[in-house]
Amino acid sequence: MGKPYSDDLRRGIVLSIEAGHTYEEAAELSGVSVSSVSRLLTRWRNTGSISPEKFGGYKGYALEPYRRRIERWVDAQPDITLAELQARLAEEEVVVSKTAIFRFLRHLEFALKKKPTRRRTRPARRGRSA
């Protein structure tokens, strides 16, 4: 995975454009692509900053604002299904997938508990051949 260009390089590109160089010349001088120069200048003109946005790292959960509610629902009904949680959230106008709910529950460390009386089905055993 690539890394963002340093602020020194970014500052040099902006300064070369301000000095009158074309995008192509600035790209050649800096050793970057013309599209990188274009994106950097667009960012600089729109935000006034040359620093890159946050790169990588942790992404939060969309359901975090509803954490207490979901915890109450699961505590009140431990065998609640993902579909039931999805329906309850939809009543509150929160549209999320079952996968997002599953990941959030895993983040909250709610575990799926299988009943110990259930056994995995096995194929029928064949008789020994002669």
**Which residue segment(s) compose the domain that 102 sits in?**
64-107
Q: Scan for tokens 């192509």, then name that residue.
A: 24
Q: Does residue 97 lie within any of the structural domains? A: yes
For the chain, how big is the Rg over CA atoms in Å? 28
16 and 41 part of one domain:
yes
Residue 34 has a CB neighbour count (10 Å cut-off) of 14
Average pLDDT, the chain: 87
Chain centroid to CA 100: how far? 11
CA distance 83 to 98: 7
**Residue 72's pLDDT is what?**
94
Q: Are residues 105 and 74 in contact, defined by beta-carbon separation less than 8 angstroms?
A: yes
Give the residues of the chain that fall short of pLDDT 70. Answer: 1, 112-130
Q: Does residue 126 lie within any of the structural domains? A: no
82-115 pLDDT, tens per residue? 999 999 999 999 999 999 999 999 999 887 665 5
**Residue 105's pLDDT is what?**
92
Q: Scan for tokens 């051949």, then name that residue.
A: 129
What separation, in Å, do the N-terminal and C-terminal C-alpha atoms of the chain show?
Answer: 60
State how many domains the chain has: 2
39 and 69 part of one domain:
no
Instruction: Kindly report the pTM of this predicted structure.
Output: 0.48
